[in-house]
Amino acid sequence: MSAPCAAVVLAAGLGTRMKSDLPKVMHKVCNVPMLGHVLAMLDDLGVVRRVVVLGPGMDAAAKLAEAYDATVAEQTERLGTAHAALAAKDALADFAGDVLVAFGDTPLVRAETVARAIELRRSALDPAVVVLGFEEDEPGAYGRLILDDAGNLVRIVEAKDATPEELDVTLCNSGVMLIDGAVAWRLLSAIGNDNAKGEYYLTDVVALARAEGRACAVVEGGAEEFLGVNSRADLALVEAIAQDRLRAEALARGVTMTDPHTVYFSADTQLGRDVTIEPFVTFGPGVVIGDNVTIKGFCHFEDARVAAGAILGPYARLRPGADVAEDAHIGNFVEIKKATVERGAKVNHLTYIGDARVGAGANVGAGTITCNYDGFNKSHTDIGAGAFIGSNTSLVAPVKVGDGATVGAGSVVTHDVPADALAVTRAQQKTLNGWAARFREKMRALKAKKEGC
């Protein structure tokens, strides 16, 4: 897809209905701020320039915009969507192409739909404005798209300014529109604020273009694509739709999911072929899963890599920096943080591996803990290839267990263990033959004497 147009993303709104200290566009959907979704969509579309309009003090949003190679323009007073779009004028002073306006709080818009608008803009009709619209049975506060008998877009009317007949119109304004660059800034500057809200409405650009004899047109998309987030309830709804999209994409890519609705992805989750995911699994940001990996139920992953053929869970937790190699097994109630588990190693039960390496083919027994933190510093544990760590072992870092070494169950290992050695630190077992029988006899006799008197 190529499009010689610049995009202006309006994101300065206060989002008061979110009841949040965070600017609305920084609230996350699938672990990415809404503004990031819009900027990623524009990337897919191939727009050549991006300007994000922000309010004063929206530093995190500005940083995010810069990460997507967008310029930031400031709208100091929130006087409406046309006023916001005009804030981008200077940043695009040297740009001659078309201007695409999008909203930072509408994160589900698809690049394909916008591409259709670009196509229509390039058609023989030569519309000055192409508006993305959608049908909605209960259009509520959305602006209504008013068409003439021939189906051409005549104007957009905001709900607050609409007549009862206009309110019956079900074709709504999504907010996304593509404007002919030759007229865009002149028309936007001509917009006034004589309306119910006393705001400068971007939507008035359509009537102004028509008054100059230019055509305007509508491209329709699905209503869910244009859901704008104004409250936490909207955010939850958008999250649910975005999750469904990611599930559908995973299934289409060759992932098996027993019950997709219980699996939660991040926008950046990467899954190989023939991955199997059992119910109730959560993928936080930054997770990469290789081919043929089996993920059993109730796992939680974040910023972790898993190579081909590994088996994880049920109830495995991979925290940031977990790196699980080919064919390794991570079992139930095992937590891995900032650690490499090499090829074919097994960490199957009730274990914490943090700031560590588990060598290829090593076997880490149930209840093993790498004691990586002394209250001040984190230290490293190194478990060699083929080592065997007995159950209920504490490895007090910094410490090294050599290749092929064995650590006896119940040990607290504070010194390095050489390759192929055995280390056991538990107390010697004492065995007294017949002691238990004698003890029982004595206690029974005592009890009988007590009950007799």
- What is the C-alpha separation between 292 and 307, in angstroms, rounded? 9
> Could you tell me if 7 and 51 are in contact, meaning their C-beta atoms sit under 8 angstroms apart?
yes
- What is the C-alpha separation between 120 and 23, in angstroms, rounded? 34
Nearest to 334 by CA among 315, 358, 306: 315
* Residue 109 burial (CB count, 10 A): 23
DSSP β-ladder status, 171-179 and 98-103: antiparallel
Residue nearest to ligand UD1 (CB): 143
Query: CA dihedral in degrees (175, 178, 181, 183; nearest 10)?
Result: -60
Does 84 interact with ligand UD1 (rule: CB under 6 A)? Answer: yes
Q: Look up residue 141 and give its two tokens.
A: 């506060």
Write out the binding residues for ligand UD1, residues 5-64 only, by CB under 6 A: 10-13, 53
Task: Report, in Å, the least distance between residue 296 CB and Mg ion.
Answer: 42
Does 103 interact with ligand UD1 (rule: CB under 6 A)? Answer: yes
- What is the C-alpha separation between 339 and 364, in angstroms, rounded? 14
Write out the binding residues for Mg ion, residues 213-232 only, by CB under 5 A: 228
Counting residues that bind Mg ion (by CB under 5 A) gives: 1
- What is the C-alpha separation between 378 and 369, in angstroms, rounded? 14
Beta bridge partners of 172: 134, 144
State which residue, 202 or 208, has the beta carbon closest to Mg ion: 202
**Catalytic site includes residue 329:** no
Task: Report, in Å, the least distance between residue 17 CB and ligand UD1.
Answer: 10
346 binds, among Mg ion, ligand UD1, none (CB under 5 to 8 A by kind): none
Does 238 interact with ligand UD1 (rule: CB under 6 A)? Answer: no
Does 127 interact with Mg ion (rule: CB under 5 A)? Answer: no
Task: Report, in Å, the least distance between residue 98 CB and ligand UD1.
Answer: 18
Lay out the site mask for ligand UD1 across 198-237 (x = CB under 6 A, - = otherwise).
---xxx------------------------x---------
263 binds, among Mg ion, ligand UD1, none (CB under 5 to 8 A by kind): none
> Could you tell me if 229 and 34 are in contact, meaning their C-beta atoms sit under 8 angstroms apart?
yes
Does 131 interact with ligand UD1 (rule: CB under 6 A)? Answer: no
> Could you tell me if 411 and 391 are in contact, meaning their C-beta atoms sit under 8 angstroms apart?
no
> Could you tell me if 394 and 376 are in contact, meaning their C-beta atoms sit under 8 angstroms apart?
no
Active-site pick, 261, 329, 349, 415: 349
Write out the binding residues for Mg ion, residues 14-73 only, by CB under 5 A: none
185 binds, among ligand UD1, Mg ion, none (CB under 5 to 8 A by kind): none
Counting residues that bind ligand UD1 (by CB under 6 A) gives: 27
Q: Contacting ligand UD1 (CB under 6 A), which of 33, 143, 361, 365?
A: 143
Nearest to 30 by CA among 235, 176, 231, 248: 235
State which residue, 79 or 267, has the beta carbon closest to ligand UD1: 79
Does 114 interact with ligand UD1 (rule: CB under 6 A)? Answer: no
Unique residue bearing structure tokens 């699938």: 30
Q: Contacting ligand UD1 (CB under 6 A), which of 71, 173, 266, 368?
A: 173
Does 260 interact with Mg ion (rule: CB under 5 A)? Answer: no
29 Cα distance to chain centroid:
6
- What is the C-alpha separation between 132 and 145, in angstroms, rounded? 10
Q: DSSP string spanning 305-330? A: EE-TT-EE-SSEEE-TTEEE-TT-EE
Q: Contacting ligand UD1 (CB under 6 A), which of 27, 100, 158, 217?
A: 158
Q: Look up residue 172 and give its two tokens.
A: 């709504």
Interface positions with ligand UD1 (CB under 6 A):
10-13, 53, 75, 78-81, 83-84, 103-105, 142-143, 156, 158, 172-175, 201-203, 228
Catalytic residue ranges = 349
Interface positions with Mg ion (CB under 5 A):
228
